[in-house]
Amino acid sequence: MHSSLETAAPESAAALPPPLAAVDRALQVVNRIIMIVSAIAMILACFILSYSVISRSFFEAATYWQDEASVFLLVGATFLTAAYVQHDRGHIGIEAFIELLSPRANRIRLILVDIGSFLFCAFFAWKSWTLTHEAYVDGQITDSIWAPPLAIPYSLMAVGMTLLCVQILVQILSELCGRNRS
């Protein structure tokens, strides 16, 4: 169970400076669209894997593409939805200190955790973009018969981590502008 400090309630963007409020609203729209697309991707991955099991079991047909297609869909769904989850503060958090610290100390702790998370995610996004670039420029493909380009999953990781960085940055700036998470 999350405390009121950890859980983001529906908040008014009016408390934010106009540019930050605009970024927050745009990110929410993008996140909603990504959630719909990701849900479809997950359902499609389920159908692909089910098709594979049925075609192999009953028809002894080889399906060499289904594992990679499903993994690509699931990688995209996982990374692209990270910003949506972060917006609602749905990522796993350690709550052992919440009851021990004052509200002011908790606010400082949350800002520091957000800054640390931002730094990690920014590094991850940067490395994902470099992997995407290398895979695209070098024409890297998977080692299967189907051989799809590796730039596909790498770009999904890069875009997802970039969106997560933007979301965390909006939350850090919101805190610094005085908007509470209660």
Q: Which domain holds residue 23?
A: 14-176
Separation of alpha carbons 7 and 110, rounded Å: 11
Torsion angle, CA of 45/46/47/48, rounded to 10 degrees? 50
The reply to whether 100 falls in a domain is yes
Q: What is the pLDDT of residues 26-85, one digit of tens each?
A: 999 999 999 999 999 999 999 999 999 999 889 988 888 999 999 999 999 999 999 999
In a domain, 163, yes or no: yes
State the pLDDT at residue 100. 84
Cβ neighbours of 36 (radius 10 Å): 9
Indicate whether 69 belongs to any domain: yes
Instruction: Please report whether residue 8 resides in a domain.
Output: no
The CA distance from 153 to 96, in Å, is 36
> What's the pLDDT tens digit per position in 169-179?
999 999 898 76
* Model pTM score: 0.84
Higher-pLDDT residue of 179 and 99 is 99
Provide the percentage of residues in the chain whose pLDDT is more than 90.
66
